[in-house]
Each structure stands twice: as C-alpha cells, then as structure tokens.
Amino acid sequence: MKYKSDVQSTPTRDILAFEKGTGNIYETLAICSKRANQISHELKEELNSKLSEFNTATDTLEEVFENREQIEISKFYERLPKPTLVALQEYLEDKIYYRNPAKEEKGE
C-alpha cells in the first residue's frame, strides 16, 4: 500500500504554505483536488480488484455476509487516510508535479 500516512485527522495548516509553489491558494487547491481524485480512483480500483476475488456466481446471500476476509479488507481501506489529506501532504512535501499551460503561454 503506497498511501500510508501518519495523518489520521485533519491538522491545522498554515494557509500561506499553500501559496508557496503557485502564488495563488486557489490554484493550489485545484491542484490538490485533482491529485486527491487521482488517489481516490487508484484506491477504488485497488479495492475493487481485491474484492472481485471473492465474487462467484454461486454465492448465496448468507455466504456474502459471512466472508470475514472480505470484511477485513474493506475495514483496512476504511482506516486509510482520506485522499484529500494525502494530496495536501504530498503538496507540502513537494511530491506533486504540476504545470499550468495557460501561464506557460503567457510566459509567466
């Protein structure tokens, strides 16, 4: 799992730290939002692939609810930090590559 983090709750953040790369907090939030969506999509695909191993055409309703291993996998993913927290931390640690084509055209 590549999205482990020590951040389990939302800490108070210095708002000026989010302006350092872009000079605009709104642009930074858009970048972090796009990254959080990427992380969320990757986690969802990973979870679905692990849970698909348990799907069979002959499962009865009782068998679906009694599968402990499937429940543990789901609980593991529920305990992971939220994609938004991971994206914000990645931004603060300069782990996100981003570019703004509109700024590049203007020569900024």
Q: What is the pLDDT along the chain (108 residues), one digit of tens a residue?
A: 565 555 556 778 888 888 888 889 999 999 999 999 999 999 999 998 988 887 766 656 665 566 788 888 889 999 999 999 999 999 999 999 988 887 777 765
| End-to-end alpha carbon distance in the chain | 38
- d(Cα 17, Cα 94) in Å, to the nearest integer? 11
pTM of this structure: 0.76
Question: Tokens representing 72?
Answer: 């543990």
* Other C-beta atoms lying within 10 Å of the C-beta of residue 56: 8
